[in-house]
Amino acid sequence: MYTLFAQILSKILPLELYVKIRHFKKVGRWPNVNDPKSFNEKIIHRLLKTNDQRFTDLSDKIKVREYVADKVGNIF
């Protein structure tokens, strides 16, 4: 759950710093965004360093169905 403090921080801090602080609070160490090793670091790296619309589209269940139907054909 977001606390009021976390909501305020998310609005005034740059996204990269805010995400790193949240990771530190949850995991107990700073994420290595430039050379990610763990799964969490790779997720943060993708969030901060890539700007690929496919990740947004492929996280949506309905859009994925449409994407697969376009590529493979509708099987239902």
Query: Which pLDDT score is estimated for 76?
Result: 63
Burial class (CB in 10 A: 0-12, 13-18, 19+), 44: buried
**Mind giving me the DSSP string for 12-44?**
HS-HHHHHHHHHHHHHSS---SSS--SHHHHHH
pLDDT digits (tens, 9 = 90+) for 10-63: 889 998 999 999 999 999 999 998 999 999 999 899 888 888 888 777 788 898
The total of structural domains in the chain comes to 1
Q: Given this model, what pLDDT does residue 38 score?
A: 93
The pLDDT value given to residue 45: 92
Question: From CA 34, how far away is CA 12, in angstroms rounded?
Answer: 23
**For residues 45 and 54, what is the distance between their CA atoms, to the nearest angstrom?**
16
- With a cut of 70, say whether residue 2 has pLDDT above it: no
Residue 68 sits in which domain range? Answer: 4-72
Confidence bin at 6 (pLDDT 50/70/90): confident
